[in-house]
Amino acid sequence: MPTFLPFKALLPHPEFVQHTILETDLIFDSESERIERGFNPYSFWPVLRPVGYRPDQVAEFEAALDASHKRLQQLMADGIFHVDEEECFYVYQVDTGVIVQNGLVGLVSAQDLHDGQIKKHEKTRVDREEQLSRFLEEIGINTTPVNLTYKQQHELDVLLAEIIKQSPPYLEAVGSQNYRYRIWRVAQSDWVDEIMQMFHRCPSFYIADGHHRAACAAHSFFEKKSSALEYFTATLISSSQLNIQPFYRLIKKYEEFDRDEFLKKLEKDFILKEVLLDQWYFQFLSSYHFLVCFNDKTFLLVPKEHWGFNSVLERLDVSVLQSKIIDPLLGIREITKDPRISFGTKSMPIKKFKALLAEADTACVLLCRAPEIDDIFEVSDLGQVMPPKSTSFEPKILSGLVMQIL
């Protein structure tokens, strides 16, 4: 059974939390940094700046590390952040206005990840793991919990509702999308014990988001022998509350791409129906039904025949999109390496999506249905990995809200 433990978190002071929170779509570039520093002197942005660099940007990463550490120390010295006096679990809630998602932040074990009691469904890159490990070692703070899920337990849902009902949140802030974020401290010994007992009955935890952060903790503990990350922060969210978003596939304009020819090839396996993007952007797609979006037109692709598959991986919509369209019709096989394709989550507003379609180098964007949570469980239980960029779990926990001192 996986371990879940309380801890003394590093938290923003309630007076300053509104100024320290960061949106998850933050762009790490010099112009953003200049604007953010000038606009908000309490922002956590400069602390996270190093993680915005690619692993090959060694000089830039190294230069940012020292500044990141100094910035964090200054924020703590100024009382913007403080260390909790008690070991607690922390209820994390995000209210988007459409959904309310509750979770618990605590510590999980690197050994459980190694032993397969914390299960994964994505591959990670060693260079990214090493970069994140270096970041954690340098600043001494784990800034962002890994998002884990578990198969729903009704008793836990009831307990979380009772904790939330008992008292006002310790922290509360509103993000730029009017999402409301709340944190409750859970220090009562009976509640702490009950939470630990309930999670001890879970046979497994599953990584929803944060595969690299989890791998980084295991890398530091097992490879670098760093006891600081024997346990690392995670937000546990019931599978019944997960909001799974698909990643889009953006095909860039290149010399061989011909729109009419591409549509003609699609007609071999699909019926093409022209639809309104404004309606279908929010429509739930059926299995193996895809959208191909151009700047001026959108087509619903309806399969002409029923396909049979031999495994859960083969039958995923994202796998079918790759095997029936992206690879054979566009010649893009190595999707994480080919410069003709890029990715993003469909959780963006439609106005932003339309702007993406209108960009000069966009040929089209392909959309498919997100995997079901049971498919993610099955893939993870089998020890297999999904295709790259298969899932995005929204909304994500904010960095700098509930942190772990290493």
Residue 400 has pLDDT above 70, yes or no: yes
Structure confidence at residue 194 (pLDDT): 94
Residue 69 has pLDDT above 50, yes or no: yes
Among 401, 405, 394, smallest CA distance to 18 is for 401
Are the CB atoms for 136 and 213 separated by under 8 Å? no
Cα angle: 241, vertex 284, 368; to 5 degrees = 100
Q: What pLDDT is attached to residue 39?
A: 58
Residue that wins the pLDDT comparison between 33 and 158: 158
The region of weakest confidence among 40-44, 240-244, 281-285, 340-344 is 40-44
Which pLDDT score, from 0 to 100, does residue 23 have?
A: 57
Report how far apart, in Å, the C-alpha atoms of 214 and of each of 104, 309, 343, 379, 404 are: 17, 32, 22, 18, 14
Q: 385 versus 32: which is more confidently predicted?
A: 385
Which is more confidently placed, 39 or 38?
39
Amino acid in position 357: L
For 81, the enclosing helix (H) or strand (E) is strand 81-83
pLDDT tens for 361-387 read: 999 999 999 999 999 999 999 999 898
- Helix, strand or coil, per DSSP, at residue 236: strand
Q: Please, is 334 exposed, middle or buried when counting C-beta atoms within 10 Å of its C-beta (0-12, 13-18, 19+)?
A: exposed
Average pLDDT over residues 30-48: 64
- Return the HEC string of 274-309: EECHHHHCCCCCCCCCEEEECCCCEEEEEECCCCCC
Residue in the block written with tokens 């008292």: 167
Site of tokens 């520093």: 37
36-45, 221-230, 303-312, 385-394: range with lowest mean pLDDT: 36-45
For 113, 116, 169, the CA distances from 109, given in Å and listed in that order, are 7, 11, 27
Average pLDDT, the chain: 89
Query: No. of H helices and E strands in the chain?
Result: 16, 20
Res 28 pLDDT > 70:
no
Read off φ and ψ for residue 177, nearest 5 degrees: -90, 15
Q: What fold is seen in the domain 247-369?
A: 3.30.1760
Under the banding of pLDDT at 50, 70 and 90, the label for residue 27 is: very low
Q: What pTM was computed for the model?
A: 0.86
Mean pLDDT computed over 291-307? 95
71-127 pLDDT, tens digit each: 889 999 999 999 999 999 999 999 988 889 999 999 999 999 999 999 998 888 888
- SS3 of 122-172: CCCCHHHHHHHHHHHHHHCEECCCEEEEECCCHHHHHHHHHHHHHCCCCEE
Identify the pLDDT of residue 35: 47
pLDDT digits (tens, 9 = 90+) for 133-144: 889 888 899 999
Pairing outcome for strands 100-109 and 290-293: unpaired
What values do phi and psi take at 277, rounded to 5?
-60, -40
pLDDT at site 308? 87
- Confirm if 403 and 255 have CB atoms less than 8 A apart: no
Q: Please name the amino acid found at residue 149.
A: T
Edge-first strand listing for the sheet containing 231-238: 118-119, 205-209, 146-150, 231-238, 100-109, 89-95, 180-186, 171-174
pLDDT greater than 90 at residue 277 = yes
Domain ranges of the chain: 10-243+394-405, 247-369
**Checking DSSP bridges between strand 89-95 and strand 392-393, what pairing results, if any?**
unpaired
- What the block records as the tokens of 221 is 């503990």
**For residue 376, which of 333, 326, 325, 318 has the smallest C-alpha distance?**
318
pLDDT value at position 289?
A: 97
pLDDT at 206: 95
Q: Give the rounded percent of residues in the chain with a pLDDT score beyond 90.
A: 57
Q: Which of 3-17, 39-53, 137-151 has the lowest mean pLDDT?
A: 39-53
- Residue 201 or residue 366, greater confidence: 366
pLDDT average, residue stretch 9-30: 74
304 pLDDT more than 90 = yes
Residue 22: its pLDDT value, please? 63
Gyration radius from the chain CA atoms: 22
Written as one letter, the residue type at 36 is E
- Average pLDDT for 287-301: 97
Least confident of 35-39, 238-242, 266-270: 35-39
Q: In Å, how far from its chain's centre is CA 318?
A: 17
